[in-house]
Amino acid sequence: MRIGETAAAAGMTAKTLRFYEDRGLLPAADRAPNGYRDYAQETVSRLEFIRRGRTAGLTLAQIGDILSVRDIGLAPCVHVRDLLAQQLHDLDARIAELTALRATVAEFHDAAAAGDPAACDPERICSYL
């Protein structure tokens, strides 16, 4: 697959893939005889993993750490295991923060929904926003 096709499959741009390669999140791609990057199908999964991590608020450096562990083939090394345990811990904390935030926003929403919607003219731009 060429870079544009691969990027589109992962919902990214070709620029972003070159950037990720530069940052070490993607291994240097194979090259076609004409010099074009040639990606394997699995690259899309890798990119989707990166995207999930980004959406979750991880930095590219953190995602890179996780990927480098995966790339090693999951050697039974205490350091690798501990790194992953740390990542899990961080993710749990992040999920807890997000859940707390959701609860707070849900309270705001319920209070707003309790009011009479007819009290606000839908034709007019809301004067508050």
Judged by the rule CB under 8 A, the positions of this chain that interact with a second copy are 49, 52-53, 55-58, 65-66, 68-70, 72, 74-81, 83-85, 87-88, 91-95, 97-102, 104-106, 108-109, 111-117, 119-120, 122, 125-126, 128-129
Closest CA to 67 of 96, 42, 94: 42
What is the C-alpha separation between 92 and 62, in angstroms, rounded? 15
Please pick, from the candidates 10, 26, 37, 47, the single residue that binds DNA as defined by CB under 7 A.
37
Q: Which is nearer to a second copy, 61 or 85 (CB)?
A: 85
Find which of a second copy, DNA, none residue 16 binds, CB within 5 to 8 Å per kind: DNA
**Site membership for DNA, residue 34 (CB under 7 A):** yes
> Rule CB under 7 A: which residues touch DNA?
2-5, 12-16, 18-19, 23, 29, 32-37, 54, 59-61
